[in-house]
Amino acid sequence: MATNVADGSAMRLTTWQNLCAAWWPVLACLLILYIPTFYDLATGLWSTEEQAHGPLILVLATWLIYRQWPQMLKASAGKPVSKAGWVVLLFGLLLYVVGRSQEIALLETGSFVCVLVAHVLLLRGRAALKVQWFPFFFMLFMLPLPGIVVDAMTMPMKMAVSYVVEHILYWMNYPIARSGIILQIGQYQLLVADACAGLHTLFALESLGLLYLNLVRHESLFRNVSLAVFIMPISFISNVIRVMALTLITYYFGDAAGQGFLHGFAGIVLFLSALLLIMGTDSALKSFDKMRLRKRLFREGAAK
């Protein structure tokens, strides 16, 4: 047992030494180039409630890359590097120059992903990128979306969430009414804000579902595809639960509670409910998949 632990520690140490030896120039260049970018994000967009998921996604993506690093080195050993990485690198640098000079956060942050992909292609080849594709895809969820897209999609989403919340609470005999995205419950009025039911929230929940899907890695194609499809309605239901929680908090404890600490607590409820719904759906799909497999085996046995 002690030998296995020592071997594992030695393997991790070797992996870290290889990472530093081969990639320190890349890491140094990335730090020099993107420290101003991430500083601006940390003091700007990422400090807002709508974009607060950005740094968490970056940290998780970095952990996923590190987690799959030994597998990437093994898969790309002896394989040729890809010259296509130069094209991706030039494109990423072009995005950076345009985004930085014109203050377009989407392009500037997106260039970071392109530059990372380019370096993987140039140093380890396509086989390495095949291993690490998900962390780079996952990083796309931290990109700030264009305001015109957010505005166009957020309003219908808020209307839908407000409609569902009103009808559920009315069915539960609460004194509630709705005018557009404004909920009136008792003596209080609540405006369903972008942070409660907007496109950014949906993006954050989608990223949570995809991360769960990547970590569990089911062998069943049916289970993987079905769970991916259910992520969207699960995200919507989680938004409904959050708005309902805020509405009831305001109704019972007043505006101060609804807009204060408990508002942040409702955000925790949002992600916990999404995670529980994802896990519950996954368990239901597991049972359904087993039942489907038993029926198929029964039909095949009967046919024989």
What is the set of active-site residues?
196, 242
- Beta partners for residue 184, in sequence order: 177, 189
Burial of 159 (0-12, 13-18, 19+ CB in 10 A): middle
117: amino acid identity, one letter: V
Q: Residue 41: which of 97, 109, 102, 96 has the closest Cα?
A: 109
Q: Report how far residue 101's alpha carbon sits from residue 96's, in angstroms, rounded to the nearest whole number.
A: 8
What one-letter code names the amino acid at 87? V
Measured CA to CA, the distance from residue 30 to residue 136 in angstroms comes to 15
Closest CA to 106 of 60, 157, 148, 61: 148
Strand partners, 189: 184
Residue type for position 165: V
Q: Are 106 and 143 in contact (CB under 8 A)?
A: yes
CB burial string 138-149: b at 16+ within 10 A, e below: bbebbbbbeeee
Provide the token pair at 10: 């030695």
In the block, tokens 């942050």 appear at: 109
